[in-house]
Structure 1
């Protein structure tokens, strides 16, 4: 199931292993300690957490906990975020890629205001009523309404992720992704194809698949794409993946192999060769120079934990 909401009560220690979905948790009532492989966090009513797919976490209540959860397929979540940004510009679609990388990082603990937490709670409960008991819908076709609620939820969560993300390079990554140049094509089919590439460069795009997304024949699509963009679809996708790879190498802690997979390259050696051709050095050497220039000040996600609510983060 790509989208599901549920509520749980915890009066004693509890461990949950998540599936291959992004999970957003709201602490509705109570307080306790949230533990996972990257650290411990004190949480209380109103706090939220975003878990990476297949994460495992452990709650130790200090007061009985009531939590609500949204479990959503990552592609569906990105579509919900994209709906908010795509209405503004194609650069907004690029930002979705940065959010996707953020969601692949370890847990993010968020501290919404009381009014924001109240809105999230109302959205969760409305979705659970629509979904019905045991995940069975009470509506013949609830999915459009569920997506509307999910989009409303993302309008609250998206800025919180930017504000509360524990990795200080995340803001830099957002800026880099938001300024990626995407051609402003006039043909609606070419625009659709560019948006698909911008949102999901890792997908196995072929000329027939891109033409299908553009709702054009492959031959006509290749010709009109070259006229509008100035290069072939294959060359544009390769350049786009290289640009995304450079952003990840310069502003994330993903390994070269992980960054290559994120942009759709199965071979790390291909990614290294493309980067060397572009920058004149390997990604490892570029990172070493970057850290040296920064005085070795790069902070990895595992090196610091998020303090309890109400404690100010030190200014870096």
Structure 2
């Protein structure tokens, strides 16, 4: 699955194998998973796993970067460029250790209680304080780069401009375009065809889509195809080649490359792992 927000996932109990752009890695108690917006990630629990997940709007994250480096960042646009430069890994596993991660649990429990209560206005300052306490412990473990050198950096994904929203696109055209891609991922879409469907120029559709989802329309389509291919490999007996064709990929080598980029495994390795788990 992929979400249009940044996710911080704290492993509280048990263990699992994770699949994402970092490849296939094991996580256990004491680990924290950091996922950028619209990054696919799947898991295979080893017996059981319990986690607490914090979902962060990308605008909120940019605001925090802006104020953290207020001494030399003039505005949120500068903050975005700065964040794109130093946070090049779309998915990370942070090995905090059980003792350090254990410090987070009472704060996470309190955050969960406030989320269930739903009175975010009244609890606003306490929620902020809890989040800052959590990040004070987690932040030193986040991998940063002074330049764009990450091997897993998604160069085909254009950066998103700051916007004010609630985990949803602002433009109806972007929502419609995303719906078309989800409904017919096997269709051989071009940007021009998709733009005609929503009555925008290709350049304008690309702009509003990136603003809404943080990806170009065709990069979003690639993610959907990878998501669907993983489902077919898990839940059907289709051959790998047949499953690729069903989701819209007709070149096995090209599909393998894209699937590995988004899921962290080749389609063949992903199926073998699922068969072994069963």
Q: TM-score, normalised by structure 1?
A: 0.43
Of structures 1 and 2, the larger Rg is shown by 1
Q: TM-score, normalised by structure 2?
A: 0.48
Q: Which has the higher contact order (CA 8 A, sep 6+)?
A: 2
